[in-house]
Each structure stands twice: as structure tokens, then as C-alpha cells.
Amino acid sequence: MITELVAVGTEILLGNIVNTNSAYLAEKCAQLGLSLYYQTVVGDNEQRMKDTIKTALDRSDVVILTGGLGPTKDDLTKEITAEVMGLPLVEDAHSRELLDAYLKQYEKNDAQRRITSNNYKQAMVPQGALVLDNHNGTAPGLIIEKNGKTAILLPGPPNELKPMFEEEVFPYLRKKQPEIIYSQMVKICSIGESQVAEEIQDLIEQQSNPTIAPYAKTGEVHLRVTAKAESEKECKKLIKPVVRELKSRFGKNIFATEEKKTLEEAVVDMLKDQKLTLSLAESCTGGAIASRIVNVPGASEVFLQGMVTYSNRAKRKSLGVKKSTLKMHGAVSEKCAKEMAKGGCFVTKTDICLSVTGIAGPDGGTKEKPVGTVFMGCCYNGKTVVREYHFTGNRAKIREQSTAHALAFLRECIMEGVSKKD
């Protein structure tokens, strides 16, 4: 069943409001197994709205419209959809009753408020429409069916749209769509997108159901394995052997098979499992690695201290980097990264310290050490490993890549140290 999303509102079109509704609805459509081919944003213009809705209904079986159901003159979604579908507007007595109760309570809470007549336009609905009660606002939702086409109108505020969709629309669409789609994510780090693509080329060429879709993220590659079946249980059964094969191919590079699990969560979980403590010595990343670590609930159990030693003086005073190292090799060097990591462990008395020092640009690069040169050190179990990286892009991109690769490097060091300890 082909489905289309239309978000209505000039404020969305101009970027004043982020269109989170469409992201939410797209995910729900995928869960229902609906084929979503188009998403559109249209401003509060009568003719453009008319053209957009007509086009959507012509090419899709179900059109879900969000926003434009309120009391003001520019709230036109219901009126224009009814016109396009050739349906008159009539007052819905039940909606009028709910609206009256809501508005009287609203007026009662503040003596300065008064009920205006334009509110009652929200009780007017296309003839024959299924009316969806709004328990969190005034504008009811609507499901309109005609000539094999369905238009679903939902209020714009997310705290009204989401419960209405969950309670009313999801069950309605579930009955119309016998199959569902279920996905499982396999998240990979420490190897690049091109390498991952090459490793799974044969699987992609042979795939039918389930399918594998790769998504690149800074320092990570996500593989979404998706199956279509009559039930979630059947989908999981189809997905299981594919995930098993991916685990066989990528092994320790897989850090998560859960949609919401992040790389920093995987690192914190490993530290907790091994009862290890962590410190960070950052230079060019300026605390960005620490920021991602502390985003994880419970990180305080393992993360003891983060130091942003941006200047040479700070590297010497806080981490014990030798003056001769900075003079002979420079702050951006293998030797400096090594001394930062070792010094961090010594100063903080932690089990592991990760250090990062580099040239984020746009200035500071040389022929020998161009912008994007980054050294990372990891001290664990008395041994320090250093890696050299070369990133490209602007200052923000280089710092972002450094942060992502630092987390992956840290994860590798923990695994390597644990295996040797065992």
C-alpha cells in the first residue's frame, strides 16, 4: 500500500520549526510495512496546498497530512482536502461537545481568557469522515475514504499527533496492511564504508527478503536488516540467519545489534563489565570525547576525569609531557600522544587513559604534518599504543572524525587488553 506524508505549515517550510512529525510517521509506516515513496512540505497557501494534496492522492493510496487543523484563517488543511475529495463540511456534534468542554475549562483557568467563535470551525468535518478524538488539544483528527483513496488528517503539535496516531491511526492502518516490516540494526566501527560494502556485496546481490541497507555515519557503518512478513515473530525468524552471517564476517568490529545503542554506550558497558576506570587527555577534540561519554547514563561509575590540555604548558603541567618531547617532536606527534596517555593514567590513577592531539585547522599544518594529522594514545595495563590518523574536511569535521575514531580506538584497546589479560 503506497503511502505519502504531507506536512503543512509555512513555519516548517522556512525552517522555523523542525519537522519531527514526518520522521516519526515515516518510522511508523515502516513498522506497518507501508511503501513510503514521497514526503512533502507545503506552506499555508491555498492553491499550492490544493495542488499538493491532489498530486498526493493521485499517486498514493494513503496520504497522511499533518498540521493546519486549528482555528485560524491559515489553518486550511481540512477545508482544502474536503474540496479536493469533493466532500461538503458539516458540524460534528460530538466534536462540538468536546470542544465546548475543553474551551470552558480553558476560560475557567484564567479570567482574562475568552472563547472566540473561530474555535468552532474545528468541529466542522468532511461529510462521512471518521472523526478521531483529540484528548490533548482542540482539533480532532480525521480519516476520509473515497474512491479507494484515504486521507488521514492529524494535528500538528507532536504531543497531540503521536498519541492520536498510536491510539487510532496505527490500528486502522494495521487492519488495511496484512504484512509488517521489522528491522534490526548491525553497527560496525573501526572499518570503512567501502570495505563493509565489499564484504557484503554477495549478500546484497542475492537478497530478496530480508534486505540489507548500509548507512554511513562518521566513524561507523550501520547495516539495517529488514524483513517483511505477517508477524514480528516471522520477521525475526527471517532476519536471524542474516545477522548471524554478518557477525561471522565482521566479528569484533560489531559494537551493537540494537537500534538505539551508541558507540559510547558500548564503550561504557565494556568498562563496567571489566570494572575498569577511564580518564581522557584531549587536545584538539577539546572535551568532545568526554562529552559523548558523559551522555551515557551511569558513566560516572567508570569515567573519573577528563582533561583538556590544549596548550603545551598544560600538557607539561597536567600530564607530565616532557619539555624536550614538545621541543623536538612537537605537540602533534606520536611521542607526545604516548606521554599524554601514560601521564593521564599516572595522574588520575585510572586503569585506562586515552589521549588525542592533532591539527584541526584551518591553520597550523605543515608539509610533514598537514591539517587533519591526529595522534591518539591509549595506556592500559602499563602498555601504551599510539595510532596516527589523517582526516579531511573543515575544522568541525576533523574534530568530529577524531572523536568518533577515538571511541572506536578505545574500544579496540579495551578488547585487546582484556584478551591478553585472560
* CATH code of residue 113: 3.40.980.10
Query: Position 243: which residue type?
Result: V
Say what the pLDDT of residue 181 is.
84
Closest CA to 155 of 8, 259, 13, 357: 8
Are residue 159 and residue 197 in the same domain, yes or no?
no
Are residue 43 and residue 90 in the same domain, yes or no?
yes
With beta carbons less than 8 A apart as the criterion, state whether 344 and 307 touch: yes
Are residue 172 and residue 267 in the same domain, yes or no?
no
For the whole prediction, is pTM greater than 0.75? yes
Are residue 299 and residue 157 in the same domain, yes or no?
no
Count how many domains the chain has: 3
Say what the pLDDT of residue 101 is.
84
CATH of the domain at 221: 3.30.70.2860
If one counts every other C-beta atom within 10 angstroms of the C-beta of residue 277, the result is: 17
Are residue 269 and residue 230 in the same domain, yes or no?
no
What does the DSSP assignment read for 90-151? EE-HHHHHHHHHHHHHHHHT-TT----GGGGGGGEEETTPEEE--TTSSPPEEEEEETTEEE
Are residue 30 and residue 170 in the same domain, yes or no?
yes
Closest CA to 219 of 377, 389, 394, 357: 389
- Residue ending a domain, choose from 176, 194, 226: 176
Are residue 360 and residue 318 in the same domain, yes or no?
yes
- Residue ending a domain, choose from 233, 256, 279: 256
Query: Position 40: which residue type?
Result: T
Are residue 206 and residue 188 in the same domain, yes or no?
yes
What does the DSSP assignment read for 161-187? HHHHIIIIIHHHHHHH---EEEEEEEE
Copy the grid coordinates of residue 113: 481568557
Say what the pLDDT of residue 394 is.
96
Say what the pLDDT of residue 116 is.
73
Are residue 227 and residue 351 in the same domain, yes or no?
no
Are residue 203 and residue 136 in the same domain, yes or no?
no
CATH of the domain at 328: 3.90.950.20
With beta carbons less than 8 A apart as the criterion, state whether 29 and 38 touch: no
Closest CA to 264 of 217, 209, 225, 206: 217
Are residue 277 and residue 289 in the same domain, yes or no?
yes
- Residue ending a domain, choose from 256, 280, 311: 256
DSSP state of 139: P
Q: Which residue has the cell 554506550?
A: 265
Are residue 311 and residue 399 in the same domain, yes or no?
yes
Range of the domain at 227: 180-256
pLDDT by residue for the chain (422 residues), tens digit each?
999 999 999 999 999 999 999 999 998 998 888 889 999 999 999 999 999 999 999 999 999 999 999 999 899 999 999 999 999 999 999 999 988 887 777 666 666 666 677 888 999 999 999 999 999 988 999 999 999 999 999 999 999 999 999 999 999 998 888 788 889 999 999 999 999 999 999 999 999 999 999 999 999 999 999 999 988 899 999 999 999 999 999 999 999 999 999 999 999 999 999 999 999 999 999 999 999 999 999 999 999 999 999 999 999 999 999 999 999 999 999 999 999 999 999 999 999 999 999 999 999 999 999 999 999 999 998 899 999 999 999 999 999 999 999 999 999 999 987 556 54
Copy the grid coordinates of residue 325: 618531547
Say what the pLDDT of residue 100 is.
84
